[in-house]
Structure 1
């Protein structure tokens, strides 16, 4: 182990030459995971744009891309467009501008509050703007007035210049305050299992806002544009990419690339409302590419710390490749002004001009500023919040979860059902796994003895840049066990291997217990544990986990992969040896999923196995099509499953399937 630690220390020293930006090295795995993120990001740069070789190819794929985007937003299947229940609660009029205080329901009980600005006197149908708001919190006397009131000057400007402009509140900062920060700091990692992100709600609200605008007699349905800044800039991207009814767009300070988010730490400053569920593993340049060939201006400042200039310009030039294929480079603009992350007049002027040009056919001199016309309180929509609102709990229902699976009627039906679930897992939950078919190898680092036990430390490379310790305690015998080691196990293993190197017996009870492990017990020190442990500061560890999400992965999903590689390596080293996997809690769920794809596993011994993915493991999208009970049944095709009393609910479905299909009685058991 001492030689292993020395080798790791040398590698770590080399990695420290990397630019770590604001991420200080606090744990031994920080530099290694930093390098991993850089490599994974580089592999996804400008995907899928870089695969486009012709306009015909891009057009042929665009429909598929739109369906993927819907799924990435939690909008697949496409929700029913129910009655909007549009209600105007009051109007304001001043200096030729009329404001309708309006609310609608994008789905029953999901209220969207907004202000609709229009010229008081106008004839015919007018071009319209959907203005989506950033994080401008407005609360007076403990009451949220909605961020629409913070951005009112934009709507007023458009109305004064011949547009209808609907400015809508966001989920978190509206008059009814929902959540944007589930994984950011609230620990709601189960959102990931559902493929839920509040950006899906924001985008759906925009879809329904377009429905509202198109239904109005004073709006030309073929001349609708979108703009917004910061969070609103992001929502502008998503709705423009998804909905072709948007004829011109100006997202302001709302996008940058994976390089900025993952490598340069911008993700730390953004809530969940900025991010999709990146199942197909795309870069954010995908969004402007999907707007092509419609008119799109990317607007930003040169010193924005959360949307840095280098990432913004890289995104622009990547999108221009697709605009060029359409022979529509003139429809893509880039406006950069000086300043930081702020809503400034110099940044508004290019947006106003672009939308006048492409929706009105005019190129006016913008010589009047956008200024507020009303007090914020005047613009409030609700006198009393509706009792039937679901905004505050929309994360529980927005993305449908799969019901419990039916028990198959026959072996043939089960094989079909199992094959479909495995295929869906690979496509929707584990698409971030490496494409590696070669058998992994256990590379011996050091071997020592304590009494009759041999303690051997191996290195296991599970993918390029990821090397995990595997420690074998061999007390003789034919059977082998793979134990998934957590940080507590690692502490005991370090004590044991250090003592073995010194020719001594370990002085801790935990290490003594490990030393007595029966047969051959391999301990896989999991990714993020022991020598690969990253910073455990709650905020920093959270943003590390969020980085995995934007790479189309999860920590638990990659641990499933690592466990598979360990199983394969042990099989290569000891062909035909019956292998049991032992794990506890969420790690037991990891073991179950690895066993689904590794038929050489003879048995899984799981303690405290969660019955519902809400309690882990966290895997992309998994609750959209299955839950832990189905996973246990899939694993039980290959291996015996043994759980303690806490796991009874998790294995009940597998027991029923086994009874129906006449599996051996010991295939799925509960030790009470």
Structure 2
């Protein structure tokens, strides 16, 4: 009976399809077309009704090809939908993934970009044009004036070989970004600064691995500062969590880095010739972008994010049209804008950075070679690891910063094994890292609330 039912359904669909002509543009409901594809190719397609209801496909049957994936592409592209393979004969439909290309498309784009320049002069011209466009795309041309308020700080907490204090910056009138500042317990002379943005991992800067990283950098002799991404952490006192997935998140996060640099580089203990930034995942996207835009950054370590085919799926990474600059760019070319400043690309085998050694890294070596400094860019690839900022990735960061900033690493290495020792780091509870109190009761009175209030500060810019 079931077989007969499917035969009858297929016959009805076929008859309905035959009734369409060019007068109707061979128009069929999308849901019906997907059922036809399932029947013709013997596959199963997962999707939500909301995604397909009231959607229609013109010239539907004319889009079919012998290859099922080519057929799906032809049909779904008309609806701003895409698909992914979930099994041998199963697929899942999702909204068009604008930030993604195929691996092959990423390679092809790098080859095209390579044809646009062949020496320092032609590359510097391209870089200047990209940078100007990126500022415009972010609505930061010009960068808005900084509020005159001083940062808000909490009492210093003394740890083993380092200190921690929490600090809040007013980046725009009534818009605050909170951070934790880690310093060596004893500071002699001028010391380096390391900006430590993080990605979308749970707990963000409150995470143990973030605290390990910042505290160890401080014990190495650096000032390290970790700061909230927009609408995460204490930023949620002013904005909703869903506001993080809106375009101005990318702009505010970039502005956060500029404001923090403005403050840090005025401290008498800071060596302005030794300024670094390193973040993972979404923080890696942020790392590449800030380095491309700000020459005050002298060393950069983007972690698990350099990819020719993935531009970051969150609007905080691609919500503004930065990647459309120069008739199209990608994260690898943006990373190349750091040249000839030292850069360490950390990649792994478990995400979109799996191809870095053979695809993205050679491109970066070529770009650094224009300056006669191919050794200034390095890649640590961890093929058996996944998408995180784990100990092996942190170890690569410590070694790279130690080498280029000429730091004595004996204080943070085990005397017996020679391995980095993070055991002296105190992992604090989340509330210890708050600036505005356990319940936000200390949030300044002028703090704005809501994304609409933020948008007002950018009205008319970037147009």
Taking structure 2 as the reference length, the TM-score comes to: 0.71
Q: Is 2:136 the partner of 1:67?
A: no
Among 391, 412, 420, the alignment partner of 1:367 is 420
Return the offset for 1:83.
Answer: 2.7
Secondary structure in structure 2 of the residue aligned to 1:309: coil
Alpha-carbon shift at residue 21 of structure 1 (Å): 3.5
Residue equivalent to 1:654: none
Measure how far apart 1:324 and its partner are. Answer: 1.4
Instruction: Answer yes or no: is the 8 Å Cα contact 1:128–1:224 preserved in 2.
Output: yes
Equivalent residue number for residue 180 of structure 2: 115
1:645 equivalent in structure 2? none
Which residue is equivalent to 1:303? Answer: 350
User: 1:126 is matched with which residue: 188, 191, 203?
Assistant: 191
In 1, Cα distance between the equivalents of 2:205 and 2:297? 22
Please report how far the alpha carbon of residue 118 of structure 1 lies from its aligned counterpart in structure 2 after TM superposition: 0.7
* Counterpart residue number, 1:21: 84
After superposition, give the CA deviation of every residue in 1:372-427 in whole Å (9 maximum; x if it has no partner): 4423322221122233223742651353326xxxxxxxxxxxxxxxxxxxxxxxxx
Indicate conservation of the 8 Å contact 1:227/1:249, yes or no.
Answer: yes
Structure 2 CA distance, aligned partners of 1:243 and 1:297? 17
Residue equivalent to 2:391:
345
Q: In structure 1, the residue corresponding to 2:331 is in which secondary structure?
A: coil
What secondary structure sits across from 1:273 in the alignment? helix
Question: Secondary structure of 2:394's partner?
Answer: helix
Is the 2:159–2:426 contact (alpha carbons within 8 Å) kept by the matching residues of 1? no
Partner secondary structure for residue 214 of structure 2: helix
Residue 64 of structure 1: how far off its partner (Å): 2.1
Could you tell me how far apart the structure 1 residues matched to 2:189 and 2:266 are? 14
- In 2, are the aligned partners of 1:228 and 1:250 still within 8 Å (CA)? yes
- State the alpha-carbon separation in 1 of the partners of residues 287 and 330 from structure 2: 17
Unpaired runs of 5+ in structure 2?
1-19, 28-58, 74-82, 411-417
Task: Trace 1:111-260 onto structure 2 (pairs within 5 A).
Answer: 111-138=176-203, 147-148=205-206, 150=208, 151-177=210-236, 178=239, 181=242, 196-257=247-308, 259-260=309-310
- Following the alignment from structure 2 to structure 1, what is the Cα–Cα distance between the partners of residues 274 and 125? 26
Unaligned runs of 5+ in 1: 139-145, 185-190, 262-266, 403-623, 626-672
Please give the secondary structure, in 2, of the residue aligned with 1:175.
helix
Of the three residues 90, 104, 108, the one matched with 2:155 is 90
Contact 1:251 1:298 in 2 (8 A): yes
**Post-superposition offset of 1:75:** 1.4
Partners of 1:111 and 1:314 lie apart in 2 by 39
Shift of 1:30: 10
Q: Which whole-Å deviations, capped at 9, do the CAs of 1:5-25 have from their partners, x for residues lacking one? A: 598535422452459533876
1:358 aligns with 2:404: yes
Deviation string, structure 1 residues 302-331 (Cα, Å, up to 9, x no partner): 112xx3412685332222221111111101
| 1:264-305, Cα deviation, whole Å (9 max, x unpaired) | xxx6xx32112141332212222111111100111122112x
Partner of 2:448: 390
SS of 2:234's equivalent?
coil
Residues 202 and 260 of structure 1: is their aligned pair in 2 closer, same or farther, counting only changes over 3 Å? closer
Counterparts of 1:88 and 1:160, CA distance in 2: 21
Distance of 1:37 and 1:271 partners within structure 2: 15
Q: Within the alignment, does 1:336 sit opposite 2:336 as a pair? A: no
* CA–CA distance in structure 2, aligned partners of residues 353 and 79 of structure 1: 37
Q: Distance in 2 between matches of 1:173 and 1:312?
A: 33
> How many pairs does the alignment contain?
374
Give SS of 1:209's match: helix
CA displacement 1:544-593 (0-9 Å, x = unmatched): xxxxxxxxxxxxxxxxxxxxxxxxxxxxxxxxxxxxxxxxxxxxxxxxxx
Alpha carbons 2:220, 2:407 under 8 Å: kept: no
Q: What is the CA-CA distance between 1:67 and the residue it aligns to?
A: 0.8
The answer to whether 1:106 aligns with 2:106 is no
Report if the CA contact (8 A) 1:225-1:249 is conserved: yes
Structure 2: how far apart are the matches of 1:390 and 1:95? 38
After TM superposition, list the pairs within 5 Å mapping 1:545-560 onto structure 2. none
Aligned pairs (5 A) from 1:352-501: 352-360=398-406, 366-369=419-422, 371-383=425-437, 384=441, 385-390=443-448, 392-393=450-451, 395-401=454-460
Q: Report if the CA contact (8 A) 1:106-1:208 is conserved.
A: yes
**CA shift at 1:216, angstroms?**
0.7
In the alignment, structure 1 residue 12 sits paired with structure 2 residue 57: no
Match among 252, 262, 272 for residue 315 of structure 2: 272
Provide the rounded CA distance (Å) in 1 between the counterparts of 2:194 and 2:139. 25
Preserved contact between residue 92 and residue 99 of structure 1 (Cα < 8 Å): yes
In structure 1, C-alpha distance between the alignment counterparts of 2:118 and 2:400, rounded to whole Å: 30
The residue aligned with 1:668 is none
Counterpart in the other structure of 1:320: 365
Cα distance between partner residues in 2 of 1:348 and 1:167: 15
1:155–1:181 distance in 2 versus 1, CA, 3 Å: same
Are 2:303 and 2:389, in contact at CA under 8 Å, matched by a contact in 1? no
Kept after mapping to 2: 8 A contact 1:84/1:107: no
**Does structure 2 retain, via aligned residues, the 8 Å contact 1:156–1:373?**
no
Secondary structure, counterpart of 2:300 in structure 1: strand
The answer on whether the counterparts of 1:284 and 1:315 sit within 8 Å (CA) in structure 2 is no
